[in-house]
Each structure stands twice: as C-alpha cells, then as structure tokens.
Amino acid sequence: MGDSDHHESFEMQDISADIARFMDEQKLTMATYGGHGFGAKVALASAINNMDRCTGVINLEGGPLDHTYYEAY
C-alpha cells in the first residue's frame, strides 16, 4: 500500500474534501476545477461543495451527478 493520506473511499463528499484539503495545504484560495470522465464528476462535486473557492468548471465527457448535487446547486 502507498503512503497517500487520501481516502480509500470513492464517495464524492470524501474526494471533494481531499481537494479542499489539498488547496488549503497549498494555500490556494480559488481554483478552476476540471476533469474527464469520473474526474468531471469530481470537479463538478468539488465546485458545488466549495462554491466560494471556485472560479469555474471545465468538464469533458462527464455524466451528471446524482440528484443530491443538483439540489445543492
């Protein structure tokens, strides 16, 4: 097993929290999120969960998230 401190979970909330934590560690206050396929879903979830830190979203070939994220948006 690697030494990554990332979650082993593939839940959008957990992955989104990883991205926010990374931004905090790197002292990034704003970002444009982007991704392809599953990464596009992660980018959209991260943007919705961190709207105050998001300047935009670039998604390629990403299907919609479940209804939970649309309600949050």
Query: Would you give the distance in Å from CA 29 to the centre of its chain?
Result: 14
Residue 33: inside a domain, yes or no? Answer: yes
Q: Is 48 exposed, middle or buried (0-12, 13-18, 19+ CB in 10 A)?
A: buried
Single-letter code of the amino acid located at 38 = F
The residue ranges of DSSP E strands in the chain, in sequence order, are: 31-36, 54-60
Residue 4: inside a domain, yes or no? Answer: no
| pLDDT greater at residue 47 or residue 71 | 47
* Residue 4 in this model has a pLDDT that exceeds 80: no
Residue 50: inside a domain, yes or no? Answer: yes
Tell me the residue range of the domain where 30 lies: 12-64
Number of domains, the chain: 1
- Sign of dihedral through CA atoms 4, 7, 13, 15? positive
Q: Residue 3 — very low, low, confident or very high, per pLDDT cuts 50/70/90?
A: low
Give the model's pLDDT for residue 12: 83
Residue 71: inside a domain, yes or no? Answer: no
pLDDT digits (tens, 9 = 90+) for 14-68: 888 999 999 999 999 999 999 998 888 889 989 999 999 999 999 887 666 665 5
